[in-house]
């Protein structure tokens, strides 16, 4: 396999902008990591015309995909945890080319998983968990059980990834395999939702009760990053200023729900500021110290 693809990756290795090249081969149970391809080549470059460029190849009885990604885009994926398969490729793939130990440095950073990066990723997963839980609960209360089930499943995935990050690991593509070892309580919730002989309504009811406790117990931990950023000034924040803060844009559409959750948990205070309209106030936010 490597010999067949050698001309492709050797050409890239000769470019001065190339920082490293990794190869991942599909194993017996590895299809999620390689997107059904037999081989993945990941080429990391310093600069390129595009942040990400993908090519597909065919050889003998196999097919390969070539990812050429700029370092800046890779750093976004790694910081936000938004492309878990790439993390898996870096940690478990075969290094074909490594300029000045660049890939080795990436691996060390991923294994060390610094606290500030963990806090950011936990915040993002927690915000998504809150969104899925609240939307699912709304569907459940209106007796739309299949829609509620869909949101609960997504919420459990965010809870699983959050549990993995808490323990200092990066969530893998096969996250439930990790959670089974790391947090059996969450794994049991997932299995019971899928396999219990109770009615769907009863399964969801029990899971919402359990989830409420698990979410409440993680409120300070999940909100740590956002609260830390808002603590940078003593004054109150308008929501527009929170939304535009560079470090908080990663929360995207989940930011409003997350802010209101932290208010509900008394981790953020609300102050009303008068507007020109009689009886209408700006709603501003400040960390509850």
Judge whether 47 and 69 are in contact, CB under 8 Å. no
Within a 10 A sphere around the Cβ of 26, how many other Cβ atoms?
Answer: 19
Q: Which range in 50-59, 72-81, 274-283 is most confidently predicted, on average pLDDT?
A: 50-59
- Confidence at residue 269, expressed as pLDDT on a 0 to 100 scale: 95
Residue 87 and residue 57: Cα distance in Å, rounded? 23
Round the CA-based radius of gyration of the chain to a whole number and report it.
22
- Confidence at residue 32, expressed as pLDDT on a 0 to 100 scale: 62
pLDDT tens digits, 154-188: 999 999 999 999 999 888 778 899 999 999 999 99
- Is residue 60 predicted with pLDDT exceeding 70? yes
- Confidence at residue 260, expressed as pLDDT on a 0 to 100 scale: 96
What are the sequence ranges of the domains in the chain? Answer: 2-112, 115-273
pLDDT tens digits, 96-154: 999 999 999 999 988 888 888 899 999 999 999 999 999 999 999 999 999 999 999 99
Judge whether 97 and 43 are in contact, CB under 8 Å. no
State the residue for tokens 């997932």.
190
CATH of domain 115-273: 1.20.120.330
Judge whether 267 and 288 are in contact, CB under 8 Å. yes
- Confidence at residue 82, expressed as pLDDT on a 0 to 100 scale: 75
- What topology does CATH give the domain 2-112? Beta Polymerase; domain 2 (3.30.460)
């Amino acid at each position: 396999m490597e010999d067949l693809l050698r001309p492709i990756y050797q050409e890239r290795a000769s470019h001065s902008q190339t920082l490293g090249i990794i190869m991942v081969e599909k194993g017996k149970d590895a299809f999620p990591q390689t997107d059904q391809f037999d081989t993945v080549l990941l080429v990391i470059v310093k600069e390129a015309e595009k942040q990400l460029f993908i090519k597909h190849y065919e050889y003998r009885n196999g097919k390969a995909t070539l990812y050429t990604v700029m370092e800046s885009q890779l750093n976004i994926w790694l910081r936000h945890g938004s492309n878990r398969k790439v993390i898996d490729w870096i940690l478990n793939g075969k290094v074909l080319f490594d300029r000045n130990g660049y890939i080795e440095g990436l691996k060390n950073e991923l294994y060390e998983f610094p606290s500030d990066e963990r806090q950011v990723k936990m915040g993002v997963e927690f915000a998504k968990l809150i969104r899925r839980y609240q939307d699912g609960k709304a569907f459940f209360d209106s007796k739309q059980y299949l829609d509620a089930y869909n949101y609960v499943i997504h919420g459990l995935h965010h809870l699983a990834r959050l549990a993995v990050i808490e323990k200092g690991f990066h969530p893998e593509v096969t996250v439930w395999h990790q959670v089974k070892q790391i947090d059996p309580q969450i794994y049991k919730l997932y299995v019971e939702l899928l396999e219990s002989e109770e009615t769907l309504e009863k399964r969801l009811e029990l899971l919402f009760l359990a989830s409420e406790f698990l979410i409440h117990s993680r409120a300070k931990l999940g909100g740590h990053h956002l609260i830390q950023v808002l603590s940078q000034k003593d004054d109150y924040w308008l929501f527009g200023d929170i939304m535009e803060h560079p470090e908080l844009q990663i929360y995207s559409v989940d930011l409003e729900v997350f802010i209101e959750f932290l208010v509900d948990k008394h981790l953020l205070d609300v102050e009303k500021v008068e507007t020109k309209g009689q009886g209408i106030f700006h709603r501003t936010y400040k960390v509850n110290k």
